[in-house]
Structure 1
Amino acid sequence: MTVEIDGEGLTAAQVVQVARASSEDAVLAAAARERLGRTRAYIESRWMHDEAPLMYGFNTGVGSFKDQRVLVADMEEYQSRLIRAHASGVGEPFEQDVVRATMMLRANAFAAGYSGPAVGVVDRLLAFLNERLHPVIPRKGSVGASGDLAPLAYLAAALGGFPEARIDYRGARQPAREAIAAAGLPVDFALVAKDASALLNGSTVSLALGVLAAHDARRVVQAADVALAMSLEAMRGELAAFHPAVHRARPHPGQRSTARNVLKMAGDSRRSTRPPTTR
């Protein structure tokens, strides 16, 4: 199955599918590709020349270098330096599903057409995803609301084929350039103006963790409902406690859902005391 991303309709369930199912791929929707191309063309015509007005992150440095122009001739080198400057994470690497969800979500964010990377950056992200090239990203280093700058720098470095980057591929951790070549993709990939800042800026790793955690939490809740119903059956529990009238008195939708689930599974039990039939 292939999931099409357009920057608008991606669901949490699709992210989980692509992150955890070995047969799932992702492609960029045609409309999103056109939108990306238009946005990029506007950026290049408006700001990518040395007489253009300064625009933060487009043709300037960042942070304390916000008023320093980056010349067009230096743009490619600047992307590399910006990524290396932020690749300061520590700790054990994220699991494969987190890395895959991150790549999926980053590509989807770009597909919306607001971040302005070259279309090739999105194609590269999806190629990594579909070829099962999983950049090694340390767990610690994000600054949270200001962006997952450090972890995303490791993703960007792998995409760019930096010699320092590492990729998990076919069960082995390898230098990025070796893994990319083994997958049949071009090893060298030039990141041009705006690409690095687009890749680094965003809380995409945090979002990936949240999506996967929420999915797992829902499954835990479902398992807990099953365990509760089985426990009531085993202990000859009182099913009257789960009658809808009891739970309408409390403003907790989750509690009502659990009560409905318990009655669906154990409501006809011959061991437990059945709930009253009146409303």
Structure 2
Amino acid sequence: MGHSEVIVLDGHSLSIEDIVKVARHNAKVELAPEALEAVERASDLVHEWASGNDVIYGINTGFGDLATVPISRKDRRQLQENLLKSHACGVGEPFDEETVRAIMLLRINTLIKGHSGIKIATLQRLTDYLNMGIHPMIPSQGSVGSSGDLCPLSHLAITLLGIGEVFYKGRRQPAQRLFRKLGMSPLNLEAKEGLALNNGTTVMTAIAALALYDGVNTLKMADIAAALSLEALHGVPFAFDERTHALRPYRGQMTVASNIRRLIAGSQIIEKFKSERVQDAYSLRCMPQVHGASRDALDYVWDKVSIEINAVTDNPLIFVDDRVAISGGNFHGQPIALAMDFFGIAMAEIANISERRVARLVDSSLSGLPPFLIQESGLNSGFMIPQYAAASIVSENKVLAHPSSVDSIPTSANQEDHVSMGTYGARKGRTILNNARKVLAIELLSAAQALDFSILLKPGAGTKAAHHMIRKAVPFLKYDDYLYPLIRRVQELMDRSEILHAVEEAIGPLD
């Protein structure tokens, strides 16, 4: 899918939404001319240093525990190539195309700030990759998240030398072969360039940015699913009263309560049954508190990721005006590691409470609805087993939600003796998110079926729009049917944002 918009990279103004445009919708990328001046000045200074004898890490020394080993002038270009060859040792399945595009975009954006010593030609080649749709093959496993994402970023960088593999137009092939086909020449990296390309938090941040964008939309879907379940279970509206939430004014909590009120506005079902009890079970009554806390968690993560995507995270950093290279630790992934562990926990809780609502929907002793939401239960099992599937997924999430950032393992002969594990934290955060979306699809399917038993009463404005959209894809089940494709269809509606768009058309944008 093409995208006409051009994202101009200057190292300071990239947004999470921009990342989605480039990674997912193939928006083109340009380098800001004013930023290139800083890149050139830093590159010139590195060239000057590489010709001299001052000891500067990564320019005329080895790496990691080998930082004390001097590298002679004649070997300094070979040092950069050796760095990438030896560090490109990832394992596991390759990252998907959109993740690789996000990784390339973030690498360009950090390098263009002019503190890394990269040549403009090297940056331009990465930009060409994005605009031409050339995607390096980057294995998904192998990073400890400090010194940054050395291993996966080396797989990105080594293709610039014509080594390794790339995907182009859906085909995996050696980079060298594609270069020949397209009339491109491999690059020769100068001093510091290999280290500039492979050192930093780019991979974990790219995964985090895409997962976070989807997570925010998933939280809106969670409110829609919850409102459908509330109506289907003939829940009462009192827990969503604005006055209650004003006394505990968390932004997320107040937002969810407002969303639920708007979704069920005008509901004859809620109106008819609201005098039957004063309060519901926690999975209904505490939706603002639980969904809201996850929203507040994602606000925290959004703030951290927004900083990181415009940060310089390689080492050493070059300060041209002061003519110094300073060795530091900006490559350490701890800020993203903690944030993505929090993200995973927040999304796991969305799945947990959703599964509890599904369990209530299928339990006739709690719901007052036909057992397992089907007529002639016994002969028909109805929606009994989708709840099992949801339960299995939330159980998986509980294991995955164990934080990876509390683990560390020393590397590089104990020179690098505390690492973040942030890349795995981001990867499993994304897995938890995808699992949560599956549970929500099961809730949406089950709640739509349950709502049909109140067919003579009109639902709320928002829930009616959601129900109508689900029914366009999935029929009401009178008898047992093959459920797998029905769950898939609801997932696809979510993936295309069709339910969300239908709801927002009916009641205005959800917060």
Regarding TM over 0.5, the answer is: yes
8 Å CA contact 2:59–2:76 kept in 1: the answer is no
SS at match of 1:272: helix
Change in CA separation of 1:72 and 1:120 when aligned onto 2, cut-off 3 Å: farther
Which deviates more from structure 2 when the two are superposed, residues 74-83 or residues 58-67? Answer: 58-67
Aligned mates of 1:91, 1:251 — CA distance in 2? 45
Report the alpha carbon displacement of residue 54 of structure 1 after superposing the two structures with TM: 0.5
Task: Write the mapping of 1:20-31 to structure 2, written as runs, cut at 5 A.
Answer: 20-22=24-26, 24-31=27-34
Confirm whether residue 175 of structure 1 aligns to residue 177 of structure 2: no
Report the alpha carbon displacement of residue 96 of structure 1 after superposing the two structures with TM: 0.9
Which deviates more from structure 2 when the two are superposed, residues 244-253 or residues 200-209? Answer: 244-253
Would you tell me which structure has more helix in proportion to its own residues? 2
8 Å CA contact 1:240–1:273 kept in 2: the answer is no
Aligned mates of 2:231, 2:204 — CA distance in 1? 40
Offset from partner CA, 1:218-271 (integer Å, 9 cap, x none): 121111111122233333332221122222233532222211112222223232
8 Å CA contact 1:5–1:28 kept in 2: the answer is yes
Report the alpha carbon displacement of residue 10 of structure 1 after superposing the two structures with TM: 0.2
Task: Indicate the residue corresponding to 2:222 in structure 1.
Answer: 224
Which deviates more from structure 2 when the two are superposed, residues 243-252 or residues 222-231? Answer: 243-252
Q: TM-score, normalised by structure 2?
A: 0.51
8 Å CA contact 2:46–2:191 kept in 1: the answer is no
Aligned pair partner of 1:12 in 12, 16, 23: 16
Aligned mates of 2:146, 2:245 — CA distance in 1? 38
Change in CA separation of 1:238 and 1:178 when aligned onto 2, cut-off 3 Å: same
Task: Indicate the residue corresponding to 1:35 in structure 2.
Answer: 38
8 Å CA contact 2:245–2:253 kept in 1: the answer is yes
Offset from partner CA, 1:154-178 (integer Å, 9 cap, x none): 001112211xx01111111101112
Task: Indicate the residue corresponding to 1:48 in structure 2.
Answer: 50
Which stretches in structure 1 are left out of the alignment for 5+ residues?
A: none
Offset from partner CA, 1:32-69 (integer Å, 9 cap, x none): 11111112122222x121x3311001222212332333
Change in CA separation of 1:185 and 1:249 when aligned onto 2, cut-off 3 Å: farther
Aligned mates of 2:195, 2:174 — CA distance in 1? 24
Letter in 2 for 1:25: K
Task: Indicate the residue corresponding to 1:120 in structure 2.
Answer: 121
Aligned mates of 2:95, 2:221 — CA distance in 1? 26
Confirm whether residue 192 of structure 1 aligns to residue 190 of structure 2: yes
Aligned mates of 2:170, 2:200 — CA distance in 1? 29
Task: Write the mapping of 1:102-251 to structure 2, written as runs, cut at 5 A.
Answer: 102-162=103-163, 165-182=164-181, 184=182, 186-251=184-249
Report the alpha carbon displacement of residue 122 of structure 1 after superposing the two structures with TM: 1.2
SS at match of 2:143: coil
SS at match of 2:62: coil
8 Å CA contact 1:229–1:262 kept in 2: the answer is yes
Aligned mates of 1:119, 1:250 — CA distance in 2? 52
Aligned mates of 2:75, 2:183 — CA distance in 1? 26
8 Å CA contact 1:237–1:273 kept in 2: the answer is no
Report the alpha carbon displacement of residue 185 of structure 1 after superposing the two structures with TM: 5.3
**Greater Rg, structure 1 or structure 2?**
2
Aligned mates of 2:183, 2:201 — CA distance in 1? 27
8 Å CA contact 1:89–1:150 kept in 2: the answer is yes
Aligned mates of 1:181, 1:264 — CA distance in 2? 59
SS at match of 2:269: coil
Q: TM-score, normalised by structure 1?
A: 0.90
Which deviates more from structure 2 when the two are superposed, residues 252-261 or residues 117-126? Answer: 252-261
Aligned mates of 1:59, 1:222 — CA distance in 2? 52
Task: Indicate the residue corresponding to 1:99 in structure 2.
Answer: 100
SS at match of 2:146: helix
Which deviates more from structure 2 when the two are superposed, residues 97-106 or residues 262-271? Answer: 262-271
Letter in 2 for 1:253: R
Aligned mates of 1:19, 1:185 — CA distance in 2? 25
SS at match of 1:91: strand
8 Å CA contact 2:50–2:76 kept in 1: the answer is no
